[in-house]
Structure 1
């Protein structure tokens, strides 16, 4: 009896060991790259990779565990052992085949196997060409070796399924089997944490190969099939050449001369880049919002450079992150951050500043694995990370993580020890639902809008508390502070999904590194989050050519514009007004004022088409 009910744990162990062995096979096949890794890094490949290995194992165990429970209830007449062996044999062949194909494709393509090969199914000649130089004999030998190893491992760990003792009730046996089936939920989602496991959980190194080696291939293939966005472009409104020309016209400058705006007292100041969760302009007084909600940000804006007409590119944190740090547009129904292979090809402020000698640190009170942010940030080259697990539970709210003032306190302790010049990025979270604050509320009411308003007030309070101490620190005089929101919010007015008011956000440049003449400057030109990267790099005297979707906000534009997208549509704002468009209905939602020229809709369609085509090609 006891031996029979060890079958399910041992079956789980079989797949887990098999995946670890396949990971070793991958490292052996890529021996030249693996040799460049330290022993400690190689060990971490296996340790970090276990979460995806366990998740893939749990999915593979679902059917056998269900068969086990059914067989326990049905008795000897049900061919449980035979069915489990048949299923296992098919799955082993499939997994081994995927792994073997991945060995050579990684060498040729530089990324782990995902759904990409499916695009070649209708063009066999290209598929053959891609594999033309592969050592077929060696790969067949390795495939055979993997299959033989799995056969030996199965016999060693499992063998034949022991029969149910005659006096043990079938109902009880089936119940035990079902309980073990239910427990698969834990490894399937990577643990009991709030966010299910994703590629971010195995990204641990600044060396891309180490991160790639930790990925589980079957899990990666299944995940990419689920998230597949390989084309064709669903936003094909016009000829690609026409779309490209239209977008290029939007990015053309009013003059060809260089930007002569100089805000900084020195060429290489520290950069403290603070991203404020959900800081809609509707609650920020200095950009026309409600008075009294953000007194510290409003005060800072009066002594810094204030951008009053900036718009978020999207409506999610992960989308704002990519737009701000990589100057890259959003996608209407997905986000490039979900695809590590694509984000590896994006430029990043951290990378650009690293080449100029900057050290780096990323602070977030929540879980970095959220929405695959960690893989994006690790690839960007951040040297240090501080996240939820680095804070005591008593310092956290009920859902997301450390309160904002706790995050700022940690930064105040760390920044004096950060090598200068530094690029430090911090992302707040307290103004995210459920809007919990650890201080007495400022505004009355328990409705959602009041709680949101109080959460923004709290984050501003925490920011002011941070700034009062930071200004006394030696590093402050040589620091440029960038304050910007990750996105806007429907509250407090319950804006519709496409309303431009939902996307209007503040941007403030401040800090001791600003020239006295720059303080109090107000920039009213239209811009989006994607423009922050080029604007910052230009001020630092660093190249920004790789940020092709970003423009310097101090360089006068021939036609200022702000493009944003929502699910599933877009808006385009120009000095003439705003147009919004529904991609599903394929129709204009509204334009305001009515005098907005018809060409503006074509400009928005061209931007969406061209930017999504770029996303597909990454």
Structure 2
């Protein structure tokens, strides 16, 4: 071996060179994550709304704290190199590590652009929820609904740029010292100690005593978009993964009240003068309800139409001037419209079990139909009407295996299912979801006509065309929507679904069972709009509920402004059919409430966001997990607005009611006492 090669083999990266390379890498990481945050802002600029420049500046300031926390984890090999000389000398390996982790961050940042536009949430457990579903359907939805090639090309280009920048930083900071001069272990130890302290402080993200930086620390403005902007996609997804892959019961809200106190408060909130409490020692709100004779309707059948993404913000009958729902608006003139009605969640899954099983959307149980607790018996429409010997039909565009729909509703008592594989020569056969809404509604007429004339029936008709990638016919029967930017296609699908709904009613009105049927039309959830109403983003929850039956307006009026949610649907239906009914619904008959009862709704987003809210009248109390609650005022309709509310004397009572309701419902679910009667073994 030559002397020159021996000298070279003894060369090592100097301490100062490594520190410079580490500092340069951290700066590049900060620039990358700030750029991704800026890209999210620009891509979703329609959501800026009333956010001020100060709000956005604060979001980027908060973002640095979250980004530094991620950078600390990425920098672990760089810090360890200070005490592992061999690792310090592996500059190519360190560049590869930095480039790989940057590639992952870039990929998540790019995925999040459309994820946030669709859900108004940073990456969360919805990602894992979709991955757990049918892979072919998910891949088809992504391929047909999003510009996959463009996004992947962008990701690859950005990854190569970051690799080039890390390589450039490595070259510019590279300097050596030879082994025979010796390492200064004291200096290395001092450098490591200083870096370790800096990393601990940065990883905590705060100098306060107590818990380290939490997602709630990003909620420092009244702009939900700005607050979300401060979060980091990698950390958000990591937190969601911990929640998703932990035992789901670990994520339950901890009880804050004695069980007896929580039950008493819940009963005061839910029960009315028409309810007689049963099994008070075993069930929270099991009761016998005696309907008011004057509010009953001359009907024998029930048809529930659950409209995909039927956002109240764009319904003309609720104040929109966009002409998206002319058919529903016309139907509203014939029926009773609930104007302050809310979905219990922001995903179809929650809309199904909240509406039909009459059970709320709870923290840790957002995907109830897929958990062991979903196998329990509830007090929903299938149980109550099957007990009255009703026939049933569930007609749907898609595959019933999605969200375990058939498994859940079969267990609840439904028997007749018509899904995507039962259609013959449909107008649209979408590779992702199935057939179009007009196909579903046409088949529904056939299915309802095939039921026995001498036996009452109930049916659930569920639409799907208004879900990306939108199963629409090649030649649309409606004018495409324009002027709403990125929402144009979504609103076009909503207009098409509305058209299909109108066509269904044109056919239904010609059928012999029409005048004997109570129709309930409601949205499963709303969707994100450029404007965000309150921190809870109420537009994602606000949906219409319309009751249609002969003479309903003359008997019950044309509009009802009582605050309500999907768990109120079943008690309201049962009240119109008449007859005492034993149940344990977590809502109430909206048409027999006292005149001074403003109603209430308890709502929660889908995914791992553990925020819950209580709505009464024109106020909403919003309570994120482990964060202080905040009260807002809101107004829906043609002139929507919202603002933080001043403190009120009943704020503490509201919070207690919210906690009691969630605690009692959770206990009822865990104890398997949520059914019409005690479950076996209870």
TM-score (norm 2): 0.54
> Deviation of residue 335 (structure 1)?
2.6
Within the alignment, does 1:428 sit opposite 2:456 as a pair? Answer: no
* 1:281 positional shift: 0.8
Matched, 1:401 2:434: yes
CA 1:576–1:493 in structure 2 vs 1: closer, same or farther (change >3 Å)? closer
Q: Is residue 336 of structure 1 aligned with residue 378 of structure 2?
A: no
Which has the higher Rg, Structure 1 or Structure 2? 2
- 1:347 and 2:379 matched: yes
Q: CA 1:320/1:261 → structure 2, altered by over 3 Å: closer, same or farther?
A: farther
| Partner residue in 2 for 1:303 | 334
Q: Structure 1 pair 240/299, CA: closer, same or farther in 2 (3 Å)? A: same
Which of residues 248, 263, 270 is equivalent to 1:251? 270
Instruction: Give 1:543 shift.
Output: 4.2
- The reply to whether residue 614 of structure 1 matches residue 668 of structure 2 is yes
Q: Mark the CA change 1:435 to 1:447 in structure 2 (over 3 Å): closer, same or farther.
A: farther
In the alignment, the residues of structure 1 paired with residue 660 and residue 297 of structure 2 have an alpha-carbon distance, to the nearest angstrom, of 40
2:258 to 236, 239, 243: 239
Alignment partner of 1:572 is 2:614: yes
Residue-by-residue CA offset, 1:44-87 (whole Å, 9 max, x unaligned):
xxxxxxxxxxxxxxxxxxxxxxxxxxxxxxxxxxxxxxxxxxxx
Q: Contact conserved, 2:334 with 2:548, CA < 8 A, in 1?
A: yes
Pair 1:545 & 2:598 matched:
no
Within-5 A mapping of 1:28-43: none
In the aligned structure 2, how far is the partner of 1:230 from the partner of 1:373? 22
| CA separation of 1:410 and 1:227: change in aligned 2, threshold 3 A | farther
| Native 8 Å contact 1:277 1:431 kept in 2 | yes
Unaligned runs of 5+ in 2: 1-130, 140-242, 276-288, 634-644, 673-682
1:217 match? none
Q: Structure 1's 431 and 244: CA in aligned 2 closer, same or farther, altered over 3 A?
A: same
Q: Residues 383-422 of structure 1: matches in 2 within 5 Å?
A: 383-391=415-423, 392=425, 395-419=428-452, 420-422=455-457
Q: Which residue of 1 aligns with 2:204?
A: none
8 Å CA contact 1:359–1:421 kept in 2: the answer is yes
1:603 counterpart residue number: 657
**Residues 225/189 of structure 1: CA separation in 2 closer, same or farther (3 Å cut):** closer
**Structure 1, unaligned stretches of length 5 or more?**
1-187, 197-223
Could you tell me whether the CA contact under 8 Å between 2:133 and 2:402 is conserved in 1? Answer: no
Contact 2:481-2:492 at 8 Å conserved across structures: yes
Kept in 2: contact 1:452–1:491 (CA 8 A): no
Q: Per-residue deviation at 1:320?
A: 1.0
How far off its partner does 1:502 sit? Answer: 2.2
Q: 1:235 to 1:314 in 2, by over 3 A?
A: farther
Counterpart for residue 624 of structure 2: 582
Looking at structure 1, the residues matched to 270 and 547 of structure 2 have their Cα atoms a distance apart, in angstroms, of: 23
Q: Give yes or no for the alignment of 1:319 onto 2:350.
A: yes
The 1:397/1:233 distance shift into structure 2, 3 A limit, reads closer
The structural deviation recorded for 1:417 is 1.4
In 2: Cα distance, 1:612 partner to 1:565 partner: 14
Contact 2:293–2:578 (CA under 8 A) maintained in structure 1: no
Give the superposition deviation at 1:347: 2.1
1:554 has 2:591 as partner: yes
Q: 1:494 and 1:452, CA in 2 relative to 1: closer, same or farther beyond 3 A?
A: farther
- Written as runs of structure 1 = structure 2, the 5 A alignment for 1:56-455 is 193-194=136-137, 226=245, 228-230=247-249, 233-253=252-272, 259-260=291-292, 262=294, 265-266=297-298, 269-333=300-364, 334-391=366-423, 392=425, 395-419=428-452, 420-438=455-473, 439=476, 440-444=478-482, 447-455=485-493
The answer on whether the counterparts of 2:295 and 2:555 sit within 8 Å (CA) in structure 1 is: yes
C-alpha distance in 2, partners of 1:519/1:548? 22
Following superposition, the deviation at residue 537 of structure 1 comes to 0.9
Q: Is the 8 A contact 2:575 2:589 kept in 1?
A: yes
- Which residue number in structure 1 is paired with residue 38 of structure 2? none
Question: Pairwise CA RMSD of aligned residues?
Answer: 2.9
Counterparts of 1:280 and 1:232 in 2: how far apart (Å)? Answer: 29
Matched residue, 1:43: none
The residue that corresponds to 1:533 in the other structure is 570
Q: Contact 1:533–1:547 (CA<8 Å) still a contact in 2?
A: no
Q: CA deviation at 1:436?
A: 4.5
Q: Secondary structure at the match of 1:530?
A: helix
Which SS does the other structure have where 1:455 is aligned?
Answer: helix
CA gap 1:598/1:260 in 2 versus in 1, 3 angstroms: same
Q: CA deviation at 1:237?
A: 2.4
Query: Which residue of 2 is the match for residue 486 of structure 1?
Result: 524
What do the CA deviations read for 1:511-535 (whole angstroms, capped 9, x no partner)?
Answer: 34x4562375211111111011111
Offset of 1:407 from its aligned partner? 0.5
Alignment coverage as a number of residue pairs: 401
Give the deviation of 1:343 after TM superposition: 3.5
